[in-house]
Structure 1
Amino acid sequence: MEIGISTFVETSPDVRTGEVMSHAQRLREVVEEIILADQVGLDVYGVGEHHREDYAASSPAVVLAAAAPQTKRIRLTSAVTVLSSADPVRVFQDFATLDGISNGRAEIMAGRGSFIESFPLFGYDLNDYDELFEENLELLLRIRESEKVTWRGGHRPAIRDLGVYPRPVQNPLPVWIGSGGNSESVIRAGALGLPLVLAIIGGRPEQFAPLVQLYKKAAARAGHDPSRLPVASHSHGFIGEDGQAAADKFFPSTQDRMNAIGRERGWGHYSRATYDAARSLEGALYVGDPQTVAAKIVHLRQKVGITRFMLHVPLGTMPHEDVMKAIELLGTEVAPRVREEVARWEADGGETT
């Protein structure tokens, strides 16, 4: 069971002061957070790609590369790379470069992206949303399979027996498929034999169990061994030594961000009651003291079959020292509890229910 962190490198207004942190400051803070995550024994750190004012990381590979020489073990991934509006050749080159700098710790998490700003920015038509992703994924996988590539598609110039460099340390370079819970995307991931990441940020996480089973069935039908394919989740959360204090501290920025995005997408109002309900054992918010958060992650493993858990923190703008403390607690107290409990459960013949 792998445990890690994901971030979108938010620079939204501080709900307490109204101040807006500079992109440069938040980027430097994230590098410090990655270094700490490595020091406390976490397995993976993911940075999401966005192209809007309230998110600072338009180039996850660059951010991760800044931390790579200062870390030793932690895996470094995008979360996600918006592959529909990216050139697959450049994506591969960027992450192969990161793989070399980190000596084999880079990963690509490929997705369509839930925000659309990158499409007009790079000159793509939203009407081609699905087709772009499928074509670009095909090319990305072709590049990782072969140093020399011949390929033709409908949305970029053809490639004729050209080399793509540098080549990564890992062969193949890991490519995960990120999904918000769409059945077509999980079937595609399974059929391709690619690891799956589910964004579980609302509702009951247990409702994602049928999608995991659908993914594994698609993998088996395509001749892949489902037991060798990891399944990850990404969920919002925060950890403090005192559970109630942690909940009170995480709520203001969470409410602000959920309502800001909700206004763009037509969601209902995000209230304290909504927030507290999501903190229950069956909810999708991983907030509380280390024992509480560990129990929820183990529950997710047992009920859904997740083998990698990524805590998304912060949601919105929070004091850097609070985020650093949450990362420390995740690595030193939550992760050991989860690994021990999952190992015990598996030794007893535990199966996902």
Structure 2
Amino acid sequence: MELGIGMFGDLQIDAKTGQIQAPQQRLQEILEEIKLMDEVGIDIFGMGEHHREDYAVASPEIILAAAASVTKRIKLGSAVSVISSSDPVKLYQDFATVDLLSNGRAEIMAGRGSFIESFPLFGYDLKDYSSLFTEKLNLLLQINNNETVNWTGKHRASLINQPIFPRAQRKLPIWVAVGGTTESVIRAGKLGLPVMFAIIGGSYASFQSLFEVYEQAYTDAGHDMANYQVGVHMHAFFGENNQAVGEWYYPFYAQQMNRIGASRGWPPYQRSQYDYGRSTHGHLLVSDANQAADKILQIKETFGLTRFAAHMDVGSPDHAQMMKSIETYGTQIIPQVKKALQS
């Protein structure tokens, strides 16, 4: 099982003044954090795409290209690319470039977008939310498989005998990110694409039925189980002391949940939600190394995971603490998990 880290590039916001951290500062911090991930043995890093003032990253591929120059082994992917509002041709070209810069370490994670700011920004209608994703994903797959493309669709100009360059060193791994809709899970299974489940609330075991639906769709479509890949993306933060890290991280996490919730009509975030999330069956991994390793192993056993991604910058915790969390993950948690899996 691969163990990675995902980020959205959250900017820290002062709870009293509302002042937002300078994006330049956060981008430099992110590159330092990715460099450390590479050094301590994290398998993969994923960068998300957002078009809001409280996030620093609108183009994951630019961050990944910069990261390629300061890393040697870690895989570099998006988490996610909002493919519905992107041009698949340009998206492929950008990630092919990252692949060349990184000597074959690039991946794409395609998603429909739980944040919708990119749709009006790039001139798309939300009524086409589903058809945009389906059409553009199919075009991206065709480009990934073929140097010269013939394609006609509804949402962009046709391509007629069109060569697309540059080319990645090999076919880019393309994952599909899903948030819990059965339709998305079945689509990914039929296409034989690896799927990443975002588990960001409640009990992680509630996703069991979706894993079963995905596996059924995957096998019904005749895909080889030797290539079967599934992962989870879960909010996480790690420290030396279980109680201390939980108390320290809560204000960052709660403030971010309330900021997002205010725009979506959610009720105020409760401490009881946080405490349940940190429990054995909850959706959060905010703990010391031993408890985190045990919980990751439990989730691996529940779902048959091939990848686990710790989303580690929710609320933009202090950079120094982020570096400590990354170090704990790479030097303590990952070795424990991999040792247990080998025994």
Provide TM-score, normalisation by structure 2.
0.98
The 5-angstrom pairing of residues 81-230 of structure 1 reads 81-170=81-170, 172-230=171-229
Q: Per-residue deviation at 1:258?
A: 0.6
For residues 283 and 14 of structure 1, the distance between their equivalents in structure 2, rounded to whole angstroms, comes to: 28
Q: Per-residue deviation at 1:16?
A: 6.9
Q: Deviations over 1:218-252 (max 9, x none)?
A: 11111102342211111111100111111011100
Whichever residue aligns with residue 262 of structure 1, its letter is G
Equivalent in the alignment of 2:231: 232
For residues 18 and 121 of structure 2, the distance between their equivalents in structure 1, rounded to whole angstroms, comes to: 28
Percent identity, aligned pairs only? Answer: 50
Q: Per-residue deviation at 1:317?
A: 2.4
* Structure 1 residue matching 2:231: 3-state secondary structure: strand
Whichever residue aligns with residue 217 of structure 1, its letter is Q
Equivalent in the alignment of 1:287: 286
Equivalent in the alignment of 1:10: 10
For residues 42 and 140 of structure 1, the distance between their equivalents in structure 2, rounded to whole angstroms, comes to: 28
Equivalent in the alignment of 1:307: 306
For residues 95 and 133 of structure 2, the distance between their equivalents in structure 1, rounded to whole angstroms, comes to: 18
1:79 aligns with 2:79: yes
Q: Contact 1:232/1:307 (CA < 8 Å) preserved in 2?
A: yes
For residues 319 and 156 of structure 2, the distance between their equivalents in structure 1, rounded to whole angstroms, comes to: 41
Q: Contact 1:14/1:317 (CA < 8 Å) preserved in 2?
A: no
Q: Which runs of 5+ in 2 are unaligned?
A: none
1:261 aligns with 2:268: no
Q: Per-residue deviation at 1:18?
A: 4.6
For residues 303 and 207 of structure 2, the distance between their equivalents in structure 1, rounded to whole angstroms, comes to: 6
1:42 aligns with 2:42: yes
Whichever residue aligns with residue 306 of structure 1, its letter is L
Whichever residue aligns with residue 184 of structure 2, its letter is S
* Structure 2 residue matching 1:334: 3-state secondary structure: helix
For residues 20 and 243 of structure 2, the distance between their equivalents in structure 1, rounded to whole angstroms, comes to: 27
* Structure 1 residue matching 2:69: 3-state secondary structure: helix
Q: Per-residue deviation at 1:15?
A: 3.4
Equivalent in the alignment of 2:316: 317
Q: Contact 2:33/2:323 (CA < 8 Å) preserved in 1?
A: yes
For residues 212 and 317 of structure 1, the distance between their equivalents in structure 2, rounded to whole angstroms, comes to: 30
The Cα RMSD (Å) is: 1.1
1:63 aligns with 2:63: yes
Q: Contact 2:12/2:317 (CA < 8 Å) preserved in 1?
A: no
Whichever residue aligns with residue 123 of structure 1, its letter is G
For residues 157 and 340 of structure 1, the distance between their equivalents in structure 2, rounded to whole angstroms, comes to: 51
Whichever residue aligns with residue 116 of structure 1, its letter is I
Q: Per-residue deviation at 1:19?
A: 3.8
Q: Contact 1:237/1:285 (CA < 8 Å) preserved in 2?
A: yes
Q: Deviations over 1:312-331 (max 9, x none)?
A: 11211221000010001000
The 5-angstrom pairing of residues 237-252 of structure 1 reads 237-252=236-251
User: Closer, same or farther in 2 for the Cα pair 1:251/1:66, shift >3 Å?
Assistant: same
For residues 228 and 145 of structure 1, the distance between their equivalents in structure 2, rounded to whole angstroms, comes to: 17
Q: Per-residue deviation at 1:268?
A: 2.3
For residues 214 and 159 of structure 2, the distance between their equivalents in structure 1, rounded to whole angstroms, comes to: 32
Q: Per-residue deviation at 1:298?
A: 0.5
Q: Per-residue deviation at 1:74?
A: 0.5
Q: Contact 1:216/1:226 (CA < 8 Å) preserved in 2?
A: no
For residues 301 and 61 of structure 2, the distance between their equivalents in structure 1, rounded to whole angstroms, comes to: 33
Q: Contact 1:15/1:253 (CA < 8 Å) preserved in 2?
A: no
Q: Contact 1:14/1:318 (CA < 8 Å) preserved in 2?
A: no
For residues 276 and 100 of structure 1, the distance between their equivalents in structure 2, rounded to whole angstroms, comes to: 44
For residues 253 and 64 of structure 2, the distance between their equivalents in structure 1, rounded to whole angstroms, comes to: 25
Q: How many residues align?
A: 343
Q: Which runs of 5+ in 1 are unaligned?
A: 345-353
Q: Contact 2:182/2:210 (CA < 8 Å) preserved in 1?
A: yes
